[in-house]
Amino acid sequence: MRLPATMVIDDRDDEKTLVDARFAVPDHTPREEPQARWRGASAWLRRRRRRIAEAGAVLALVLGLGAVAYQQSREVDALRERIDAMKRDRSGSFVGGLARSSSSAPPPVGAEATSNPSSGEVTQSERESLERRGAMLIGSNDFSCALPHYRMLTELFPQQRVFRDVVTVLEAKLRRSGSVEPASGSCP
C-alpha cells in the first residue's frame, strides 16, 4: 500500500505547546494595579468629602483675611510716613501757630492784650479778627491776598516776628509758583 503524500496529525497533539520559562508572562497585569489604587483613593475622598470641603473653605478664608490684613498694614505704614513727613514740615513753621490762634480759644493775657501805642491803637478784638482773616486766607490757599494782609499786620504790629516770617514764606511761595500780587482791592 501506498502512504498518502501528506501526513495527518491528530488534534490532540496540536494543543501541546512548549514555552520557555524565561519568556513566561506573569499572571497579574500592571494595568489592574493603578485602577485599584484610583478606586481606593476615590473611596477615601468620598468618605472625607465634607471635611475636605470645610478645610478648603477655612483655608480660603484665612488666606483672604491675611491678604486684606497685609494690604491694610501697608496702607497704615504709608499713612504714618505721610503724617511724619507733615509733622517734620510743620515743625517750626508758622501754620500750626496760625491755626491755633484762629480757634475760639482766647489769646493769652499780657503785654500784647492791651493796645500798643505804636500799633495804631488797634483793640484786642480787631487784632483777633485781623489774625483770623489772615489765617482763613492762608487756609483757603489764597496766598496772593494773604501776602498784602500780612504785610499790613507787620506794619501794625512790628514787634511780632511771626508776621514777618509769614510774609517771607508767602513771598517765597508766590515766587515759586510764578504768581503776582493782586492789585489793591481785588481781595475780599
Per-residue confidence band for 40, with pLDDT thresholds at 50, 70 and 90: confident
Residue 185 backbone phi and psi in degrees, to 5: 95, -10
Q: How far apart are CA 102 and CA 139, in angstroms?
A: 10
Instruction: Give me the pLDDT at residue 100, please.
Output: 47
HSE toward the beta carbon, residue 80, CA cutoff 13 A: 6
Q: Residue 182: how many CB atoms within 10 A of its CB? A: 13
Cβ atoms of 143 and 174 closer than 8 Å: yes
Per-residue confidence band for 35, with pLDDT thresholds at 50, 70 and 90: confident
Q: In whole numbers, what is the pLDDT of the chain averaged over residues?
A: 75
Per-residue confidence band for 117, with pLDDT thresholds at 50, 70 and 90: very low
pLDDT tens track for 48-99:
888 899 999 999 999 999 999 999 999 999 989 988 888 887 654 444 444 4
pLDDT tens track for 88-102:
876 544 444 444 444
Comparing CA positions, the residue from 166, 174, 162 lying closest to residue 149 is 166
Instruction: Give me the pLDDT at residue 73, please.
Output: 93
Q: How far apart are CA 166 and CA 179, in angstroms?
A: 17
State CA 97 to chain mean position distance.
31
Q: How many residues does the chain have?
A: 188
C-alpha cell at 53: 470641603
pLDDT tens track for 154-185:
999 999 899 999 999 999 989 888 776 654 55
